[in-house]
Amino acid sequence: MDVSEEIRASKFKDEFHKAMVNLYYTYKWYDDILGDLFKSYKILPQHFNVLMILKGSHPSPCSPKDIREVMLDKGRDITRLVDKLVAKGYATRELNPENRRQINIFITDSGQKMVSKMNQELIKKIQSLNNLSEKEVTQLNEILNKLRSQKKK
């Protein structure tokens, strides 16, 4: 269904405006569908993102700065996200012995197991939503990459 019908909007300034609304609407649609999976693990998508970053750097630690640089949602408070992961036993936090002003964050064995299991479920869910051809997916990625190549104003 066309985004105009979905959101009952009769007019857009131009096709680019319509595309941006469509992009955001589609993101929220996708986010709502995947939200149940995150709720079942009692974490937010941002927690999952932090765990994937920690898993990718394992066995090396990450600093909060390292995490923030590659997070998908940079608007979140890293300290609070890590606090919850530590409380759940999915991550640990230690002072960096070489620089006592820096914190090292590690993923635990429990965190690795949980994020691996969750990632498998997430991949299955994502694959079930794919109704695009390989060529269409490639084009979509190229378009999104091009869109983001514009400098922030």
The tens digit of pLDDT for each residue in 2-18 reads 877 777 777 888 989 98
pLDDT at 67: 94
pLDDT at 75: 74
Please choose, from the candidates 26, 50, 55, the residue with its C-alpha nearest in 3D space to the C-alpha of residue 38: 50
pLDDT at 123: 94
- Give yes or no for a contact between 105 and 92, defined as CB atoms under 8 angstroms apart: yes
Cα-Cα-Cα-Cα dihedral sign, residues 85, 91, 93, 98 = negative
Comparing 9 with 148, which gets the higher pLDDT? 148
pLDDT at 96: 87
Given a cut of 70, is residue 54 above it in pLDDT? yes
How many Cβ atoms are within 10 Å of 112's Cβ, its own excluded? Answer: 15
Instruction: Give the number of residues written for the chain.
Output: 153
At 70, the pLDDT band (50, 70, 90 cuts) reads very high
Q: Walk me through the domains of the chain, giving residue ranges and CATH numbers.
A: 1-40 (no CATH), 42-148 (1.10.10.10)
- Give yes or no for a contact between 46 and 12, defined as CB atoms under 8 angstroms apart: no
pLDDT at 153: 60
- The whole-chain average pLDDT of the chain stands at 91
The tens digit of pLDDT for each residue in 76-132 reads 789 999 999 999 999 999 998 888 889 999 999 999 999 999 999 999 999 998 899
Tokens representing 130 are: 């794919």
The DSSP bridge partners found for residue 107 are 91
